[in-house]
Structure 1
C-alpha cells in the first residue's frame, strides 16, 4: 500500500517543519470534467498541487455500474495534477484517492471536495493540548482481484488500509477517527470472465450485486479496523444478511473506475493544527432529520429548523450515506422505491435524503451516496459534517 505524498521523486518539502494542517475546499463543477476551480486555486497560490492528498466528489451521472462520469472526472484530475507536478498520471492514480459518487438527483449540486495538507509533523507534535485538529490519512491497497470482491480477502484488505491511513494521519486511537470514506472495485462482466479464465470463481457476476457485496465488505473492514467488529473470518456469512452488524463511521462506494480499495481516514489528532473539526451521526431511517442535528451539535451548531447564515458559512463539507429500507416501509408507511422499474431505488433515496439534509443546512452541495449496507442502521445511514470551529 502507498500513502499519498504526491511530491515529485527526489523532491524534498520546501516548507519549514511545522505541525501539519488540513485545508478543505468545496468546489463547483460545470460538468464532470470541469476542474477549472481547482486550477484557479493552483494559479492563485491558494493550494500547491503537491499538497492535494485526496478528493471526494459528487458527479451528475446515474450512480450505476455504467456511470462513466466518475472515470471522466478522475482522468481529468490526474491529468491536471500530472501537468502541475511533472509526474505520470498513471502513477498518481495509484496514490491519490479520488472517491466519487454519481447521481445528483433533486436539489443536489455537482461538486468536489479537495483535501490539502500543508506542513510536516515534528518530534514534539503530539504534545499539543486537547484532542487536536482535523487530520487526514490515506491509503490505496494493492489491486483487488475480482474473485476477492465481497469476500473476506477484501475485508482484510480494507482493514489493513484503514490502519495504514490512521498511522499516516497520526491517529493512534480508533475513538479519535470521525469518518472513513472508501471506494472499492466491483465485478464487471469482463473481470468475471478474466477470473474464470484464470480458474477463479467470483462471488457474483452480476455487476450491481457485486457493488453491494463490495460495499458490505468495505464496511466490515472499517468496522474491524476501528474495533466495532471482531476480526473473525466467520463473519463473512453475515455480510448482506445480518444488518444488525454495522459500522457507525464508514461510508463505502463501489465502481468500475477503480481496481483497488481507496481509503480516506478523517479524525482528530494533537499532532495537527487548524480550525477544522468533524462529527458523524447514524441515521435510523430516511426521515431521521434529528441525525443531522446530532452531527451538528458537537460542532457547536444548532439548526432551528435551518442553520443560520453564520453557522452555514462555517460548514466546509457534508457527507451522507442512505439506503432504501429493504423491508418496504418507513416508520410503518409503505414505500415503492424497491418496486419502481422506471427509476432505480438508489436514485429515489439520494433525492429524498439529499433534499432533507440540504433543507436543514440551507446548502445543496452535499455528498449523498446510496448503498448503505452495514453503514449505519438498516434502512438508514449516516451524516458527517466538517466545519470550522466557532
Structure 2
C-alpha cells in the first residue's frame, strides 16, 4: 500500500534572496516543486525587529515557487510554510531546509520521519503575546499532527512555529480601536509572541495542563521540550510545522531530540545524535556519520540569571550586540563542534522553549 515519504534537502544560500540551489534541485529532478510543503531558512540578518532578510527570503521563495508551479506567489505563500530565522552569528552558515512529501511503495515498519503543517488565522495586534495566540497555536499544532498522521504526542520531536511581532504601526492601529497590547516595546513583543506560541505547543502536547495569561514571559517553569518559535515582521499569523516519527510513513529519515539544560550542554546534543542513530564516539561525528546527518535544529537563549554553571556571562549587558545574537553564536559553536558542520538551524529567543538558558535540540538523520 503506498505511503507518504518525508524528503529533506539542506542547501546553502549566497544571500537571503538566493533560491538558485533550490531551483537546482528542481532542474536535476532530485525534487518536484509540487512536493514542497515547507521551507526553513537561516538568513544573515540581525534577527531583531528590523531584520528584513526574513521577508526578503520569503518574497524570493514565493516568486520562485509561484513561477515553477504556475501559481500566484501570494497563493503559494498562503499554503507553504516558510519559516525564516534571522541571525547567523559566529560560524553559522546561511542555508535552507526544504521539506517535501513524496510517495513510496510501502511504509517503514521501524518508523520514519513524518511532516505536518498548519496555520492559525491572522492575529490582531492585541492578541499577540496573549491567550488567543496560545489557544490558536495549540489548535494549529493539533491540526498539523493530524496532517502528519501522528496521534501520540510522544512521537512528536520538533515543532517549528513562525509567529508575528508588534511594530509601532500595529500598536497604533490597536490603540485607534481602543485596544491595549501586551507591550509597547516592539523588541519585547518578539519574546512574548515566541513565548505564547511555545506555550501553545506545550498545551497541545500535554506538556502543561493550562497557561495563565500572566505566566507568558514570566513563569519559566512552564515550557515545551520540542517547541522552536521564531518571530518576524513578515507575517500576521502563526505557521506551524510538526516533525515526528510514524510507522505509517516511508523512507530512511528519522528524528530524535533532547533538551539542552544550558548553552554548553554538549551531552544533550550527543544524546539527540544517538537518538537519531548516529555515533558521536570521540566528541565529533566522523565523516561517515556526518554524511547521514540531514539537519540539526536548536534553540538558543541567554540564562536570565546572567550565569552559566555559576560563572558570569555578559550577554544581557552588552549594549552593542543583542543578547540573542551572542546566544546563537555560542550554541551554534557547541553544536558545530559536535557534528562537524556549520549549516545548522540555531534560532535565538527560547522563551518557554526548554528550561531557562537551555532549549530543545533536534536531529534528523538517515538510518544506516
1:49 to 21, 30, 33: 33
Shift in Å, 1:129: 3.3
Which of residues 248, 251, 260 in structure 1 aligns to 2:225?
248
User: Secondary structure of 2:291's match?
Assistant: helix
Aligned positions, number: 367
Q: Of 48, 52, 55, which residue of structure 2 is paired with 1:71?
A: 55
User: For the residues of structure 2 that align with 1:193 and 1:241, how far apart are their CA atoms?
Assistant: 25
Structure 1 runs of 4+ with >4 Å offset: none
* 2:22 counterpart of 1:38: yes
Does 1:106 pair with 2:90?
Answer: yes
CA offsets 1:94-128 (integer angstroms, 9 cap, x no match): 111111111111110000100011128x9xx88x6
1:87 Cα deviation from its structure 2 partner: 1.0
Matched, 1:269 2:249: no
Give distance in 2, aligned partners of 1:251 and 1:27.
21
Tell me which of 348, 368, 388 is aligned to 2:326.
Answer: 348
How far does residue 302 in structure 1 lie from its aligned partner after superposition? Answer: 2.2
Q: Distance in 2 between matches of 1:315 and 1:297?
A: 11
Shift of 1:347: 0.9
Task: Work out whether residues 109 and 248 of structure 2, in 8 Å CA contact, stay in contact via their aligned partners in 1.
Answer: no
Q: Distance in 2 between matches of 1:298 and 1:357?
A: 15
Q: Is the 8 A contact 2:257 2:275 kept in 1?
A: no
Shift of 1:332: 0.6
Report deviation, 1:350.
0.7
Equivalents in 1 of 2:204, 2:28: separation in Å? 39
Distance of 2:264 and 2:29 partners within structure 1 = 42
Structure 1 unaligned segments of length 5 or more: list them.
Answer: 1-16
Does 1:158 find its partner at 2:137?
yes
Structure 2 runs not aligned, ≥5 long? none
Task: Pick the aligned partner of 1:226 from 196, 200, 205.
Answer: 205
Aligned twin of 2:45? 61
- Distance in 1 (alpha carbons) for counterparts of 2:238 and 2:332: 26
- Mean Cα displacement is larger for which, 294-303 or 164-173? 294-303
Equivalent residue, structure 1, for 2:125: 146
- Residue in structure 2 matched with residue 198 of structure 1 by the alignment: 177
1:184-228: CA deviations, max 9, x gaps?
111111111111112221111211111100011011100011111
Q: Deviations over 1:172-191 (max 9, x none)?
A: 11111111000111111111
- How much has 1:281 moved relative to structure 2? 0.6
- 2 CA distance for matches of 1:268 and 1:29? 28
Distance in 2 separating the partners of 1:99 and 1:301:
27
Is the 2:293–2:365 contact (alpha carbons within 8 Å) kept by the matching residues of 1? Answer: yes
Is 2:17–2:56's contact at 8 Å kept on the other side of the alignment? Answer: yes
Where 2:89 maps in the other structure, the secondary structure is coil
The answer on 1:291 being equivalent to 2:268 is: yes
1:333-373, Cα deviation, whole Å (9 max, x unpaired): 11111010011111111111101110110000011111001
Backbone CA RMSD of aligned residues: 1.4
TM-score by length of 1: 0.92
